[in-house]
Amino acid sequence: MENKFGRLLVIDDDEDILQAARLFLKQHFELVHTEKNPKLIPTLLKNENYDVILLDMNFTMDVTSGREGFYWLNKILEIDPATVVVLITAYGDVEMAVKAIKEGATDFVLKPWHNEKLLATISSAMNLKRTRTEVDNLRKRQQQLFADLDQPFQNFIGSSPAMEKVFATIRKVARTDANILILGENGTGKELVAREIHRQSSRAKEVFITVDMGAITDTLFESELFGHVKGAFTDAREDRIGRFEIASGGTLFLDEIGNLPLPLQAKLLTCLQNREITPIGSNKPRPIDIRLICATNRPIHKMVSAKEFREDLLFRINTVEIQLPPLRKRKEDIPLLADHFLKIYCKKYNIPAKRINSSALKKLEKYTWHGNIRELQHAIERAVILSESEVLNPSDFFLSMREKGGEGLVLEDYDLEQAEKLIVRKALDKHGGNISKAAEELGLTRTSLYRRLDKYGL
């Protein structure tokens, strides 16, 4: 037997109508209440949550004008504006139906009704109620998130001069719609900066959409960013909205834009210049309204000189440039960051509070942190999980790489995972962060390399 959902209230002064409605509708819905006296509506709504209310238009006071129905419709919506009301009457006409919809009713049915028509109307109203509830819940969750994030820069930990300069720049540019380019090594927090700019902007209540340009294949680039229409290519079974259109009204963050091949750079430039996109398979341009933020870990200015990145595109995306310092150049922030992650992971793993002793802090401060904050975060998490002591000592932090003269990085122990991490990082360094070239040299696919980057926090 199928599960029945939905809670109904039927209000009509005709007992025969109420009995017929109850006998039919209880076969399809979880709960069906009927009531002859509309004056009991406030009490009923106080004691029960209904998905849909079927309300008669005419009671004994005035048989044909529908005035009582409109009165109780307004009273119901005054008690709960989200209520879905379907009006029923034996004297319906187009004018009354239009007025009912304008007053806030969802639909309008005539009696005597056809059962199939009544069921379809109520089912449609149920779907509307469910959608309204979901939207309301999302709105409340979003409002709570905004309240929780009300403190500026709460996702940023740091008081170093280098970070204070970054904070000051964010404050200046956030309220504008200027295009921003964020530069910095992997793990320095480029997406955090982008999200903070969005949070402080006039678009804060709109969407923030992230696109990893390095993970999009050349063949899917236009479909992912600009969308496509049904039938545009073999697998296009339905219309698809691209990321630009989804982000319209809000902020679009294009991460790793330095990995975008030259032919695709031209297509992106055209879109940004015209402020419109054309889905694949369509000849109708669609306007877009986005705040653009881009980021890369690659030396993009050198790439322009080497003809690897279009100069006109660089001009378009970097009205303001923000350079994020690597962790090794803001070492005074390491104790603050370490304490921050320590609290997070003790709480996450339900472990009694721990602290880091001064010797361990000195070890963390001396380390070069090629993976930056992300690498520090993983080091703290591992120490919290593995250490059985309330105090974390230097031996609790397995920092396997160190610098040795001019020979580059070498291993301090024979940990295979750390060896792989070192090799991956050296391949990335050799190719200036180019994922495709590093993957080719390592004999990996781009996807396999991305998995290793995520695994090792690189």
Q: What is the mean pLDDT of residues 28-55?
A: 90
Q: If you average pLDDT over residues 264-293, what whole number do you get? A: 93
- Mean pLDDT calculated for residue range 237-244: 88
pLDDT at 244 over 90: yes
Range(s) within the chain of domains with CATH label 3.40.50.2300: 7-141
Sign of CA dihedral 230, 231, 237, 240: negative
Per DSSP (E only), the strands in 404-456 are 409-411
> What are the pLDDT digits (tens) for 300-309?
999 999 999 9
Range list for CATH 1.10.8.60 in the chain: 326-399
Name the nearest CA neighbour of 186 among 359, 372, 335.
372
Tens-place pLDDT, residues 122-157 = 999 988 888 888 887 777 666 655 554 444 555 678
- Looking at residue 155, what is its pLDDT? 63
Q: Which CATH architecture has domain 408-458?
A: Orthogonal Bundle (1.10)
pTM summary value: 0.59
Q: How confident is the model at residue 404 (pLDDT cuts 50, 70, 90)?
A: very low
Query: pLDDT category, 405, cuts 50, 70, 90?
Result: very low
Task: Write down the number of H helices and E strands in the chain.
Answer: 18, 18
Q: Residue 351 pLDDT more than 60?
A: yes
Residue ranges, comma separated, of all CATH 1.10.10.60 domains in the chain are 408-458
Would you say 156 and 189 are in contact if contact means Cβ atoms under 8 Å apart?
yes
- CATH fold of 161-325 reads Rossmann fold (3.40.50)
Residue 217 to residues 6, 37, 105, Cα–Cα distance (Å)? 45, 65, 49
Q: Which residues pair with 86 in a beta bridge?
A: 54, 107
DSSP 83-135: -EEEEEESS--HHHHHHHHHHT-SEEEESSPPHHHHHHHHHHHHHHHHHHHHH
Q: 117 pLDDT exceeds 60?
A: yes
The residues of the chain that CATH labels 3.40.50.300 are 161-325
Cis preceding-peptide flag for 152 (omega within 30 of 0): no
Extract the tokens encoding 20: 């017929």
Q: What is the pLDDT of residue 151?
A: 47
Instruction: Pick the closest to residue 368 from 420, 339, 336, 410 (CA basis).
Output: 410
Q: In the CATH hierarchy, which fold is given to the domain comprising 326-399?
A: Helicase, Ruva Protein; domain 3 (1.10.8)
Question: Which numeric CATH code is attached to 7-141?
Answer: 3.40.50.2300
